[in-house]
Amino acid sequence: MIFELSKTELVKCKKLLEVKEFNIEAAEFYNDYLTNNFREISTAKSEAEWFEKFNKLEQVNNKVIANCKMNKISKLNTNTFLNDSYYKKIGQIKASEGDWKFSTYSYAPYEGFVSNELVIDQETFAEHTPISYFENEFPFFAVTQKDEIWMSIIPHEINTMKKPIENAHGDVLVLGLGLGYYVFNIASKKNVTSITVVENDRKIINLFIKYLLPKFPNQDKIEIVFGDAISFVKDSPRKYDYVFADIWHNVGDGEMLYLKLKAKEKYRPGIKFDYWIETSILAMLRRQTLTIFEEWLEGFTEDDYKQSRNENDTIINKIYFYHKNTQIKNFNDLHQILTDDSLKLMASKLF
Question: Percentage of residues in the chain with pLDDT exceeding 70?
Answer: 89
Interval 175-209: pLDDT, tens: 999 999 999 999 999 999 999 999 999 999 999 99
Q: How many residues does the chain have?
A: 351
CA 284/CA 27 separation, integer angstroms? 11
Q: Cα 338 vs. chain centroid, distance in angstroms?
A: 18
Per DSSP bridges, beta strands 242-245 and 272-275 are parallel
Q: What pLDDT band is residue 1 in, cutting at 50, 70 and 90?
A: very high
pLDDT score recorded for residue 32: 73
pLDDT category of residue 233 using cuts at 50, 70 and 90: very high
Which band of pLDDT confidence, cut at 50, 70 and 90, is reported for residue 5? very high
- Which of 27-31, 33-37, 273-277 bottoms out in mean pLDDT, i.e. has the lowest? 33-37
> Is 54's pLDDT higher than 50?
yes
pLDDT for position 21: 92
- Domain definitions of the chain by residue range: 19-153, 168-276
Query: What is the C-alpha to C-alpha distance for residues 305 and 315, in angstroms, rounded to an integer?
Result: 10
Q: Angle at which helices 278-297 and 251-262 pack, to 10 degrees?
A: 90
Mean pLDDT of 22-32: 82
**Which residue pairs, CB below 8 angstroms and at least 24 apart, start in 298-306?**
none
Asked if 212 and 205 count as a contact pair (C-beta separation under 8 A), the reply is: no
**Among candidate residues 59, 155, 65, the one with its CA nearest the CA of residue 106:** 155
Among 15-19, 96-100, 209-213, 276-280, which stretch is predicted with the lowest mean pLDDT?
96-100
Confidence at residue 58, expressed as pLDDT on a 0 to 100 scale: 47
Least confident of 9-13, 128-132, 224-228, 342-346: 128-132
Q: What pLDDT, on the 0 to 100 scale, is given for residue 112?
A: 82
313 pLDDT tier (thresholds 50, 70, 90): very high
Please determine, for residue 57, whether its predicted confidence score (pLDDT) is greater than 70. no
Q: Does the pLDDT value for residue 9 go beyond 90? A: yes
Lowest mean pLDDT among 142-156, 243-257, 309-323: 142-156
Cβ of 82: how many Cβ atoms within 10 Å?
A: 12
Average pLDDT value for the chain: 90
- Among 191, 198, 248, 253, smallest CA distance to 222 is for 198
pLDDT greater at residue 30 or residue 240: 240
Among 48-52, 58-62, 178-182, name the most confident range. 178-182
Q: What fold, for 168-276?
A: Rossmann fold (3.40.50)
Q: Has residue 46 got a pLDDT over 90? A: no
pTM for this entry = 0.92
